[in-house]
Structure 1
Amino acid sequence: MDRVDASPSAEAVGRRADAYAAAPLLNCLLREVAEPLAGPGDPRVHRLPSGRLLRVRPGRRPADPELHAAGAWHRVGHTELVKLVAEELRRHTGLPGGDLPAEMVDSRDAVAALLTARARATPPADPYLRSEQSLITGHPHHPAPKARGGGPVASWLPYAPEAHARFPLVLLGVREDQVAEEGDTGALDALGTAPPGYRLLPAHPWQLDLVAGELAEAFADGRLLRLGTTAFDTWPTAAIRTVYEPGRDLFLKFSLDVRITNDVRRLWRHDLRRLRRTDTAALHAVEAVGRPAAWLGDRGYRTAVFAFEELAVLVRDGLRGHLLPGATPLLAAGLAEGFDGSPLAAAADPAVWWEAYLRQVVPPALRAFGDHGVVVEAHLQNTLVAVDAAGLPVQVLFRDAEGVKLLPDVTRAAGWERLVYCLVVNHLAEIAAALAEHHPGLDPWPAARAELARHDLPEIPALLASPTLPGKTNLLLRWTGADGADARYLPLPNPLAGG
């Protein structure tokens, strides 16, 4: 959904926010700890670890949860659902869950604020930016996908892509002897003018507010100067801390000391130090596949030595040098979520559209792995799919070297599991479900199976024969306090099998 009613009541917003927030939380609960019970019809009934029975209206966005008690089914609102999930996970894991219940509530309240803001906002005219700013649900299998660190709405709403925000960047001057950088950062020097003896460093205004206390001394002693703001606005993308400036065709990625889904979204020193290696490997792997596939390179970073992670900014390739003539890039996650003008919903022949989609997305990811040992993080939010004037997919563009894994840094088995999760479970399964939802009667999985079978990777036969696929356990990962990068998987039914 892209817009809400012009003047929604608080009650209407609350109902919609409850529904948006409940769907991914239910997806997690049902995937990770509930046991589906056999039986005809909808809604579906599931047994929870406590033995209690929960039934929901099924689908890729489950809804209308009801709990069985005293011989009857009772509706469960979002507040009660958070309490229920917490009780069941404490029983299931023996652990208290830390801040996660509060994050679930924060996520729901953030959705309510976003829905209210969107009713007053004007969506961008550019379909690419609309796709980036469409994610009201967000990650469909995360318990708190829209949590914003628990801060007041006023602190983050001006920078929220889902609210169709756009804003100038703060310009800082860093004393030249205090600059740390690597790679090609020349684009930063064109954003403004630094005084003699200083280098220009843009900052995300939300991040600057978050770390202001840590920088007071640097401002006081002259290592850091405030130079105003950019003369232009930037558009936050789905990643929140990555912004796009269409006039300069420039992406900038910042640190953000806020937990978004599983991680505090800081540009960590160890990731920046290996950036050139991972980005170069991904670039070479995707280039070797050949056009039209493309990699949006992370050219380099600049920061201050006294606030290395806090003030780091990463420079990423723009779109124009990579796009096919006349093609329009769209965020894959936006295609799954839905936005005004989405070609997925409007496809005249969904089977043809889906085959074209698979033909663009699948081969580059598999060949990067098989030929070059590069695990591209090909999930929905790191994949752009460009379409032609008729809305047919004609190109894929992958991004984000931070998520790339290289063999033999990880074992081939671990790399393959990660690729299958990102490409098939996180990405293709969501697009397939959205397509089938918009075009009833379409079975998307025979075409997906045929596309995968065209490739001669030794892992493919086992993938197509396996009864299960690896599903990431985001609810249990967060509940047990595991590191956000420490992916854990459980087996999910494999729709590719048995074809």
Structure 2
Amino acid sequence: MHRPSRPEAEFAAELDAVRPDLSEPYAAALPGARAAVLSRLWRALAHEPLPWVEGREEGRDGLRVRLADGRRLEGPSADPYATTAYAAEVRLDGRPYDRPERLMTDLGVRHGPAFAAELAGSAASLALSRAGRRVQERPAETGWEWEQRVVDGHPYHPNCRSRPGFSVAEQLAYGPEHGQPVELRSAAVDDCLVTGAWPDFLRDGGRVLIPVHPWQADHVLDTPSHKGPTAHPLMSLRTLALPDGPHVKTALSARLTSSVRDISVYSITTSEAVSAFMASVAARTDGLLDVTRTLGAATAGSPDLAAVVREAPETYARGGERVVPVAALATTELPRSARWFARFTRLALTACLRLLDLGVALEAHGQNLLVVLSPAGDPVRLVYRDLADIRVSPARLARHGIPAPQLSGRIVTDDETALRRKLFGSLVGGSLGATAGSAAVLREALADAVRDLPRTPDLVALLEEPLPTKALTLMRLSPETPGDLWARLPNPVSEEGAEGRSF
């Protein structure tokens, strides 16, 4: 039952060669990493609309999941907002499993073996991240230092640390949690699409210099590249903070969690218009939310060779303030009382629901959404970054007399369900849920926060309907289905929505 999986054994062997000082901490971290990944998988088995799950029954001793083939899964009650590793073991027809990949393999479902391999890699990578994390001897002073304190990755995705194609040495060199500066490469391109004001330091005469992640240069590109600027990796791994302030988002043709992290030509083409539009709409939040502007974007006509340069979130800090990604809040030494969390929840809902009413749905998960803290540590404003996956509603904009941007494609939709899914799933099911860490804490904060909010149709939907969230495991088990798939979580506030339904 405790024999290492293949990725675990391979990681151990490579560690012995490249970082023997981490071999013992890595081995010690494995049981906790397996439990963390298994807990995320159990959350999916408990709440996602998996086609081979026939029913679920909650009892005093935990949760039972009935499979379509007659078998039964048993495990602890699955709070959909919990972030602790609460499922160290799950039983399938009475047989105990403490390895997520072995459970997935024995479930025998379509596409299960490939997903099982990713789960094994996720647990091994998570153990490596925990083993290699630096001891924090002082409070973070820069934005990238806050980001590098996020060790466990996505709070709810079983592939929270899956980095297929990355060796142990590469993870230690490029993973933000390991704290090493990364020397970017630079590819000189003659025929290049550029939008916005591409920085002078990324030009060589008439040629554009596209920043390239070193992993991309080594494993994907045939294009020659040369030494580029040294930067600090942020929690997305492929986005880095340059020494003089701006952030650069590089293309990384590797599957991290659910998606391959390249940069589409569509994103480059629309980046300038989206950035200018969002700056104007954010100004209507009465100072509650700022958006980091895209300074420039460039592509050589391929999603594998492209980059975006944007403002650093700290641009919007004033004297003594700190700008902290929401995903990093749980890792900080900052005091976060129930009163603090209620205030933060009220701030986030006020700003994001106002934007939704105007016609913009943010993907406000803990990586994209940042909170500005006063010198005393109180949440005072928000900053949002990475505009590639927002949704814009021309019909809602028109109701407020706001000219719609000249955009087409996936970013534009008037579908009410799509707009609410985008915001509610990322903000409440993501940022707020993960910061709360439990349904009970989230319920209390939401109940307090919504008392003084305008009772718009969006707020009514948020309070009275099951909460939409991405069905992350179903998506990985449905590679033939493009786009997002969804689940409905029990609504933390509404009794009517408490049972949750699949859709």
SS in 2 for 1:136: coil
Alignment partners' CA distance in 1, 2:42 and 2:307: 36
* Residue of 23, 28, 41 corresponding to 2:39: 23
> 1:276·1:300 contact (CA, 8 Å) conserved in 2?
yes
1: CA distance between counterparts of 2:481 and 2:306? 22
CA RMSD of aligned residues (A): 2.8
In structure 2, what is the equivalent of residue 14 of structure 1? 30
Note the 1:235-274 alignment, pairs <5 A: 235-245=232-242, 247-274=243-270
Matched, 1:317 2:311: yes
Residues 349-404 of structure 1: per-residue CA shift (max 9 Å, x gap):
x2320232023212221111112x11111111110112122221111101111011
Aligned positions of 1:32-47 closer than 5 A:
32=48, 33=50, 35-41=55-61, 43-47=62-66
Alpha-carbon spacing, 1:211–1:118, altered in 2? closer, same or farther (3 Å): same
Q: 1:261 to 1:444 in 2, by over 3 A?
A: closer
Unaligned runs of 5+ in 2: 1-20, 395-411, 497-503
**Equivalent residues of 1:298, 1:317 under 8 A apart:** yes
Deviation of 1:452 (Å):
3.4
Deviations 1:382-436 (A, max 9, x none): 10112122221111101111011111422133212221211211222222226x8
Offset of 1:10 from its aligned partner? 4.5
Amino acid across the alignment from 2:365: H
Q: Which runs of 5+ in 1 are unaligned?
A: 220-225, 437-441
- Residue 77 of structure 1 is aligned with which of 98, 101, 108? 98
The answer to whether the Cα contact below 8 Å between 1:351 and 1:444 also exists between their aligned partners in 2 is no
Q: 1:483 to 1:297 in 2, by over 3 A?
A: farther
Secondary structure at 1:37 match in 2:
strand
After superposing on structure 2, the runs of 4+ consecutive aligned residues of structure 1 that deviate more than 6 Å are 120-124
| C-alpha distance in structure 1 between counterparts of 2:341 and 2:96, whole Å | 37
User: Which amino acid is the alignment partner of residue 380 of structure 1?
Assistant: G
Distance between the aligned counterparts of 1:416 and 1:181, measured in 2? 33
Corresponding residue to 1:492 among 489, 493, 498: 489
Alignment-derived partner of residue 292 in structure 2: 296
Measure the CA separation in 2 of the matches of 1:447 and 1:11. 38
Match in the other structure for 1:460? 459
What residue number does 2:473 align with? 475
Q: Which residue of 2 aligns with 1:56?
A: 76
Alpha-carbon shift at residue 58 of structure 1 (Å): 5.1
> Residue type of the partner of 1:329?
V
**C-alpha distance 23-342 of structure 1, shift in aligned 2 (>3 A):** farther
After superposition, residues 166-315 of structure 1 pair within 5 angstroms as 166-175=181-190, 178-186=191-199, 189-190=200-201, 194=204, 196-212=205-221, 214-215=222-223, 219=224, 226-230=225-229, 233-245=230-242, 247-305=243-301, 308-315=302-309
Q: Deviations along 1:137-188, whole A, 9 cap, x unmatched?
A: 322332312111244222343111122232222233333xx232111222xx
Which residue is 1:333 aligned to? 327
1:418-433 → structure 2 map (5 Å cutoff): 418-433=422-437
Kindly provide the amino acid, as one letter, of the partner of residue 148 in structure 1. R
The aligned residue for residue 88 of structure 1 is 107
Residues 357/123 of structure 1: CA separation in 2 closer, same or farther (3 Å cut): same
More moved, 203-212 vs 446-455:
446-455
2:339 aligned to which of 352, 363, 368: 352
Give me the whole-angstrom Cα distance separating, in 2, the residues matched to 1:389 and 1:48. 52
Whole-angstrom distance in 1 between the partners of 2:176 and 2:314: 22
Please give the alpha-carbon distance, in whole angstroms, between the structure 2 residues aligned to 1:268 and 1:378.
Answer: 21
Instruction: Give the Cα–Cα distance (whole angstroms) in 2 for the partners of residues 153 and 473 of structure 1.
Output: 29
Deviations along 1:219-250, one digit per CA (max 9) or x if unpaired, are 4xxxxxx44232xx3111111111112x4111
Q: TM-score, normalised by structure 2?
A: 0.81
Distance change in 2, residues 1:110/1:122 (3 Å): farther
| Paired position in structure 1 for 2:389 | 403
> Alpha carbons of 1:464 and 1:422: their partners in 2 closer, same or farther (altered >3 Å)?
same
From the superposition, tell whether residues 124 and 270 of structure 1 become closer, same or farther in structure 2 (CA, over 3 Å). Answer: farther
8 Å CA contact retained: 1:375, 1:419: yes
Shift of 1:255: 0.5
Cα distance change of structure 1 residues 470 and 292 upon mapping to structure 2, 3 Å threshold = closer
Displacement of 1:25 in angstroms is 1.9
User: How far 1:120 moved relative to its partner?
Assistant: 8.4
Give the Cα separation in 2 of the matches to 1:321 and 1:334: 18
Letter paired with 2:463? L
Number of residue equivalences: 448
Q: Distance in 1 between matches of 2:371 and 2:481?
A: 30
Q: 1:353 to 1:19 in 2, by over 3 A?
A: same
Answer whether contact 1:282 1:376 (CA < 8 A) is retained: no
Q: Helix, strand or coil for the counterpart of 2:133?
A: helix
- The answer as to 2:379 corresponding to 1:363 is no
